[in-house]
Amino acid sequence: MNADAIVLQTPPGAPFTFGVTVDGGGPRSFQVTEPGQDTRRYELARVEQTDYLDLFEALARDLGTRMPLARTPPPPRKCGAPLRPLLTESIAPEILYGYGDPCVVRVGERAWRLLVTSNDAPNAFPILASNDLTTWRLTGFVFPEGRAPAWTLTGRNQADFWAPEMHRVGNETWLCFTARMHDRSLAIGLARGASPDGPFEAEHAPIVTGDVIDAHILVDAHGAPWLVWKKDDNGVWPRQLAALLHREPALVRELFVARKDQRTAVLALTLWPWVATLDPMEQFFVLQPLIEAATAEFTGFAGRLEELRARACGAEAEEIAGISRALRTRIYAQRLSADGRRLEGEPAVILENDQPWEAHLIEGAWITQEGGRYYLLYAGNDFSTANYGIGAAVADAPTGPYRKSSEVFLSSSEEWWGPGHPSVAVGADGRHHVFLHAFRPGVAGYKAFRALLAAPIRFEGGVVSLDTSVWPAARPDPG
């Protein structure tokens, strides 16, 4: 065991007791003990999400904790047109992680551009061009290596460049994106250029800060630009919950019903003093089983948490109230100035997670103006599992109120898991199409390859539907 190994023990009062030794010297390793049981040893070759999923899958079998959802097949898909694969492999070595969070925009009579998430790749935000929405070529990057804005954090396993979008506003191409600041918090930046292929010049500071992601630009019926974004509170409450349970381990019995979820929570609270020292994404990897335990029956968990808050007092009551608030993901909209350099007025909450399929989060909003209405597509649930899907809502104004469909609009299938982060563009046939990413079965997760898929879509009479008459059913892509 390395001299710097961290020895952790479950605090008194928990329904179960674990001893865990975390050794970070070289490959990370874990030794887990229970009273009366032999010590079990687990090793991670890397600290990627797939490695942690392997760890928690093994722990589920050995300790009776929750099996990761990413290792669980989705329920059978009830209906809907098949998704058409457009890009199922990287077309250039600089595109490291595929086509996550895709933004497809039409920029000419037969010209489209695609921008995608690049995570920590040296070249941020690939720009791909197509003349038919089928064949694509890499034309460059929004921020080539060494050209990222000064306020962004760069470097392998440090940077997170997410969800870029471009839109034509006036005589300029505006581009919004998410990146980490040097304090590790997430912020939204804006850049602009004369052409959809750049070069792009970013503002010297982010336009929205405070752990915010998934920016979207909407130009309303009057030509006024709006910025839409998500407050990433779902990245906050798991840490707060783990810290609370570490101090008050007896609360596990009150908040979690199933035995496997109680054991999962106890393991998380035992690990918390070590987890608190990790970078944000590795914290997410380690706390994901706790997230899944809390959201397995999300309404019940949220209700029990609120009952606990009502009985608490002082600082603890406020702490629990903060966790309860963070369980609600909020998407905001706010007017942009005509030059796009500042926000005007006050932000309006336009959407919250309130449908069972969404569980603890919604994100990745895209608004299409059609026939005097504003149609909003968004993603919900955990992006790294087959529970992720796409929902739909409609409003008569940019700030709503938005009326949601009660059913998930697009969900996982046997061929593709976790369809999400939609964008909408008009195809060569003059019809709207929705573009999205998805994982191949069993390989969902952060930095896992995401394919670009599409489906025809209709916006009519306040209803969003798939247009099954445009693309015939296709055989599953063989890869």
CATH number for the domain spanning 361: value is: 2.115.10.20
Query: Among the three residues 297, 326, 355, which one is the final residue of a domain in this structure?
Result: 326
The three-state (H, E, C) secondary structure of the chain, written as one string: CCCCCEEEECCCCCCCCCEEEEECCCCEEEEEECCCCCCEEEEECCCCHHHHHHHHHHHHHHHCCCCCHHHCCCCCCCCCCCCEEEECCCCCCCCCCECCCCEEEEEECCEEEEECCCECCCCEEEEEEECCCCCEEEEEEEECCCCCCCCECCCCCCCCEEEEEEEEECCEEEEEEEEEECCCCEEEEEEEECCCCCCCEECCCCCECCCEEEEEEEECCCCCEEEEEEECHHHCHHHHHHHHHHHCCCHHHHHCCCHHHHHHHHHHHHHHHHHCCCCHHHHHHHHHHHHHHHHCCHHHHHHHHHHHHHHCCHHHHHHHHHHHHHCCCEEEEEEECCCCCCEEEEEEEEEECCCHHHCCCEEEEEEEEECCEEEEEEEECCCCCCCCEEEEEEECCCCCCCEECCCCCECCCCCCEEEEEEEEEECCCCCEEEEEEEECCCCCCCCCCEEEEEEEEEEECCEEEECCCCCCCCCCCCC
- Whether 408 is covered by a domain: the verdict is yes
On whether both 214 and 184 belong to a single domain, the answer is yes
Domain of residue 307, residue span: 6-72+235-326
User: Which residue, 260, 291, 326, sits at the end of a domain?
Assistant: 326
| Count of the separate structural domains present in the chain | 2
Q: Are residues 353 and 462 in the same domain?
A: yes
Domain membership of residue 475 (yes or no) is: no
Q: Looking at the domain assignment, is residue 102 inside a domain? A: yes
pLDDT of residue 81: 60
Task: Check residue 80 and give its pLDDT.
Answer: 53
Residue 89 included in any domain = yes
Query: Do 209 and 346 share a domain, yes or no?
Result: yes
- Whether 335 is in a domain gets the answer no
Question: Within this chain, do residues 255 and 126 fall inside the same structural domain, yes or no?
Answer: no
Is 97 in the same domain as 201? yes
**pLDDT for residue 472:** 47
Tell me whether residue 334 is in a domain: no
Domain boundary among 326, 356, 377: 326
107-110 contacts at long range (C-beta below 8 A, 24 or more positions apart): 107/168, 107/196, 110/428
Same domain (yes/no): 283, 312: yes
* 79 domain-assigned: no
Q: Per residue of the chain (479 residues), what is the pLDDT tens digit?
A: 566 899 999 999 999 999 999 997 668 999 999 999 999 999 998 999 999 999 999 999 999 999 999 988 777 665 556 789 999 999 999 999 999 999 999 999 999 999 999 999 999 999 999 999 999 999 999 999 999 999 999 999 999 999 999 999 988 999 999 999 999 999 999 999 999 999 999 999 999 999 999 999 999 999 999 999 999 999 899 999 999 999 999 999 999 999 999 999 999 999 999 999 999 999 999 999 999 999 999 999 999 999 999 999 999 999 999 999 999 999 999 999 999 999 999 999 999 999 999 999 999 999 999 999 999 999 999 999 999 999 999 999 999 999 999 899 999 998 999 999 999 999 988 999 999 999 999 888 999 999 999 999 999 999 999 987 765 444 444 33
Together in a domain, 211 and 318: no
